Amino acid sequence: MSADYNNISLQSGSPAPLGATLTAEGINFAVYSSGAVKIELCLFDAAGTQELARIALPERTENVWHGFLPTPQGIAGVVYGYRAYGPFDVTYGLRYNGAKLLVDPYARALTGKFVWDDALLGSTPSGDASLPETLSPVDSAPFNAKGQVVDSTFDWGDDRPPATPWRDTVIYELHVKGFTKLHPRVPERLRGTYLGLAQPQVIDYLKHLGISAVELLPVQAFVPERFLANKGLVNYWGYSSLAWFAPANQYAVSDAVSEFKTMVKALHAAGIEVILDVVFNHTVEGGETGPTLSLRGLDNASYYKLEKTDLRHYVNRSGTGNTIAIAHQAMRAMIIDCLKYWVEEMHVDGFRFDLAAVLGRENGRFRTDATFFKELAAEPSLRYVKLIAEPWDVGPDGYQLGHFPSAWAEWNDLYRDTMRGFWRANPGILGNFAERFAGSSDLFRNTGRRPTASINYVACHDGFALYDVTAYNDKHNEANLEDNRDGHNHNLSWNCGIEGPTEDEQVVELRERQIRNMLATVLLSQGVPMLLAGDEFGRTQRGNNNAYCQDNEISWVDWKLAERRTWLTTFVRQLLTLRRRAPGLRRDTFLKGARQVDREHKDVSWRHPLGHELNAADWHDVNARALGVLIGQAFTDPHGTPNGHLLFLCNAGAQPVDFKLPAPVTGAVWQIVFDTARWRANDLGNRIAAGENCVVAAHSCVLLADGDAPLSVRSGFSLT
């Protein structure tokens, strides 16, 4: 039964903290709005379908409106929203409309069904661009979501952040729903949920694979854009935020907040960090023709960046219709409050910021020392969390790879493009391969950063899955219902001779080899590796490179493939085991090509198949498709003394290449660790003496270790 809100009044309450704060005495409500003349608190029944009361917030402190609802009405579970009254004049960027129910931007949970309807629009277009919009008087409450007051009590036990150093981090990007929706060992009612991801069998898989951090696609409460809903589609990825503090109900059985915490606690117990992909560049309210759901109705001109020459229109740096006003103090404060909430209350370990260049824009230009970055760095509780930038937006001067502050890491799409291009045999790419493999010092060294600033990947949620990089030359996005116009065309993919599925054994084997090549390259490179969920066993999206709206088998991880391709998953697990055992693959400093203490080899040298180090002519040979990477002192002995070397031989060409091997450490020989062209062969571990040749098959790579490398590293790549 719903609470009795008859004849109640609000006490004055406090302007801080913002949001709905539950205490033993009741609930404090506080919301920012600089231009409103009245803010009403609207209270609903438990289902969010019936509005039971409207009560004006009684106090205003500067630009914060606040009031206190005492017990017995002010208890956990209260369902609420706001109505903001004030001037509606779009020529000044003012869009107040008391007919529209507004979601509290600080709501910790949402409830009620969201339904697209014209009632959600705050205004009605005039039909003439020269004439102003008119106020829409239709009540939107029946169609909008509502906030719900939560009791934050949770038994965290001895939970603590794994605090994995960047050099030891291996990121696994996954979608909460898609990862377990088809998982046969997850109870059916939990598949596709936070609790599904918390299941021991799921966590054991991640741990056994060698993952140290999961990066979750957006879990901030979101709703699909209207154009998708009209097509019967959804925003599956979740980049259409409505409430940044609230975990998405789509992935909950009944209580999103407590179930999210349960998931984090379970992952932490296994030593796995949780990184959230957060969307602080735009919201689902879109441009001027979009709905009034929350920020637009509370304080449009403070929360969104408007065109200076015409305040009716929104600056669009996100490609979705609007851009948050990072220059406004209220917006910056809300984002930092939100990050603190997810760290302090929800125990997450880091954030990947979607279109992060938006956050560094001041006066239209990106700045490494932008105010937001400085304010973020000043927050004690955020000082040691992992911060990852998607280092671009769609505005002018939007590509900012390598320009984020020193504490940040960045998605390195140049790494992705270079490695895809190398393995499909693009010409003139040896120098780029070397720079990316060695940690991208050209991007990060000048700002005093480390190789770990580079997040290395060859596939992520946006674009082809790794298998599709080897199976499709062209995108196949017809299921998105945009006539295959969406998604980018520059995929740097190669279908190995046949477009799409095939039973041709030679093509199938070549695709598998190419997958191994790219996975090996990522996991042996300097920097922080990131894998896309399912790539370790060849998951496919059927050629769709923009599956943001595909909440179906196109996007869900197919665990039957994992059962059929255990050899590939084993390869990835063994590579990650090798990476953990070889400190030389996880350096905190850039490779310099400097002599090591054994004076036999440099920390890295780039080898020609004829046996010499690459010279200027070799680097500029556009026909070259093969090179070797000699990594000095890759291992340490039990006393911590550096020893052992790795030799990574890569041949992207269509013909076998004989590599003359350099001298190993004195008194030792080279031993094959793996050969991606002969993975099922029984002669791995063969010894090859210095000066002899190692034949590297077409489209393949071979890794060798010298005699001082630990035996467990070499034998770890057995087929048993």
- Do 353 and 295 reside in the same domain of the chain? no
Task: Tell which of 270, 293, 319 closes a domain.
Answer: 319
pLDDT 10s digits, 60-117: 999 999 999 999 999 999 999 999 999 999 999 999 999 999 999 999 999 999 999 9
Position 515 in a domain: yes
Task: Tell which of 560, 583, 606 closes a domain.
Answer: 583
Distance CA 578, CA 170 (A): 13
- Do 133 and 148 reside in the same domain of the chain? yes
Active site residue 410: no
The whole-number average pLDDT for the span 562-576 is: 94
Catalytic residue, candidates 273, 354, 393, 706: 354
Task: Tell which of 563, 583, 603 closes a domain.
Answer: 583
The whole-number average pLDDT for the span 581-598 is: 82
Q: What is the pLDDT of residue 691?
A: 79
pLDDT 10s digits, 166-223: 999 999 999 999 999 999 999 999 999 999 999 999 999 999 999 999 999 999 999 9
Active site residue 558: no
The whole-number average pLDDT for the span 609-625 is: 96
* Strand locations in 545-654 (E): 604-607, 626-631, 635-636, 642-643, 646-651
CATH of the domain at 361: 3.20.20.80
- pLDDT, the chain, mean: 94
Distance CA 384, CA 370 (A): 19
Dig out the tokens for 113 from the structure.
Answer: 């069904």
Q: Is the bond leading into 15 cis (omega within 30 degrees of zero)? A: no
pLDDT of 163 higher than 90: yes
Q: What is the pLDDT of residue 720?
A: 31
Q: What is the pLDDT of residue 599?
A: 53
Q: What is the pLDDT of residue 133?
A: 84
The closest of 254, 153, 237 to 194, measured between CA atoms, is: 254
pLDDT 10s digits, 357-369: 999 999 989 999 9
Position 720 in a domain: no
Q: Give the count of domains, the chain.
A: 3
pLDDT of 711 higher than 60: no
Position 116 in a domain: yes
How wide is the angle at C-alpha 336 spanned by C-alphas 334 and 342, nearest 5°? 100
Is the pTM higher than 0.75? The answer reads yes
- Do 254 and 299 reside in the same domain of the chain? no
Catalytic residue, candidates 390, 393, 417, 468: 390
Question: Structural domain of residue 603, as residue ranges?
Answer: 591-715
Dig out the tokens for 185 from the structure.
Answer: 């060992």
For the chain, what percent of residues have pLDDT higher than 70?
A: 94
- Do 551 and 682 reside in the same domain of the chain? no
The closest of 320, 233, 238 to 285, measured between CA atoms, is: 320
The single-letter DSSP state of residue 392 is B
pLDDT of 611 higher than 50: yes
- Do 574 and 433 reside in the same domain of the chain? yes
Higher pLDDT, 49 or 128: 49
pLDDT tier at 1, thresholds 50, 70, 90: very low
pLDDT tier at 636, thresholds 50, 70, 90: confident
Distance CA 488, CA 479 (A): 15
- Do 173 and 311 reside in the same domain of the chain? no
- Do 598 and 484 reside in the same domain of the chain? no
CATH of the domain at 670: 2.60.40.1180
- Do 362 and 455 reside in the same domain of the chain? yes
pLDDT 10s digits, 393-402: 998 899 999 9
Q: What is the pLDDT of residue 278?
A: 98
- Do 151 and 13 reside in the same domain of the chain? yes
Q: What is the pLDDT of residue 600?
A: 58
Residue appearing with tokens 């109640």: 8
Position 385 in a domain: yes
pLDDT 10s digits, 482-526: 999 999 999 999 999 999 999 999 999 999 999 999 999 999 999
For residue 324, the one-letter residue type is I
pLDDT of 684 higher than 70: no
- Do 28 and 98 reside in the same domain of the chain? yes
Position 259 in a domain: yes
pLDDT 10s digits, 294-316: 999 999 999 999 999 999 999 99
**What are residue 246's phi and psi, to 5 degrees?**
-100, 130
Position 161 in a domain: no
Position 219 in a domain: yes
Most confident listed range (379-388, 637-646, 667-676): 379-388
Position 160 in a domain: no
- Do 344 and 458 reside in the same domain of the chain? yes
For residue 555, the one-letter residue type is S
Q: What is the pLDDT of residue 448?
A: 87
**Is residue 88 helix, strand or coil?**
strand
CATH of the domain at 26: 2.60.40.10
pLDDT of 594 higher than 80: no
- Do 237 and 267 reside in the same domain of the chain? yes
